[in-house]
Amino acid sequence: MSAQSSLLILIPLAYLAGSIPFGLIVGLANGVDPRRSGSGNIGATNVARVLGGKKYFFIVFFLDLFKSLIPMAIASAIVLRVPAAQRDEHVYIHWLLVGFAAVIGHMFSLFLKFKGGKGVATSAGVMLGLFPYFTWPGVVSIVVFLIVFYLWRYISLASMVGASLFPIVYVAIGLASGWPVFGHQLPLLIFALVIAILIVWKHRGNIARLRAGTENRFGKPSAAAPAPRDDSSIAA
């Protein structure tokens, strides 16, 4: 079986993996539906807030990360068996589609009537799993995420800054390493830009709250919020 055929099989499996709403599962397992508590989000931040423990943030975050990291690690193992000189745009596109399917599954879950989260943790899994081209830019973006979060305590702000920086770092490292960033690997750059735009777009409500000064800082209790009015509030 060719590499492209193997990747085509992985794409729908990655979407199904991405669709698993771990935040909802963890919340319900502890007697709380996060969609009807706190901000109404099923992401790690709201689950930790409504369950009253930071450990739940890390549980949900890493579950959401691994549901894309594992398919991408498998895809990377398949692609890296193909000599670099024989990889054309189609190989990179199919490779990317595995990760994109996982992120789309998270944002538009099959199990939640095609509603879902903001894709931060799942996108991080794609970055780390697409070795080596996205791994090192992904590490830099995660470090920047942690710095911004440490300074301002806003998960949303840190997520948008890290996501926006990722394609810039990818280009910088790619040019320094001699990768064909604007050649055969152009699909990687396009994907990086699309994911960054999607993450910022999914945070449009957070942007409004940041501008109004009403965004919740991580670790600080917030007033109970009504159930979400639309799918844009289901997060992360």
pLDDT band at 1 (very low <50, low <70, confident <90, very high): confident
Instruction: Estimate to the nearest angstrom the gap between the alpha carbon of 70 and the chain centroid.
Output: 13
CA dist 164 → 38, 86, 200 (Å): 27, 31, 8
- For residue 220, pLDDT beyond 80: no
Q: Do 79 and 67 form a contact (C-beta atoms < 8 A)?
A: no
pLDDT of residue 39: 78
Q: Do 190 and 161 form a contact (C-beta atoms < 8 A)?
A: no
Reported pTM: 0.85
Instruction: Estimate to the nearest angstrom the gap between the alpha carbon of 101 and the chain centroid.
Output: 11
> What is the rounded distance in angstroms from the CA atom of residue 233 to the CA atom of residue 12?
26
163 Cβ contact list (under 8 Å, min separation 6):
120, 123, 141, 195, 196, 199, 200
Between 49-58, 79-88, 224-233, the lowest mean confidence (pLDDT) is in: 224-233
- Per residue in 191-210, is it b (16+ CB within 10 Å) or e — as a string? bbbebbebbbebbebbeeeb
Two tokens, residue 201: 């777009």
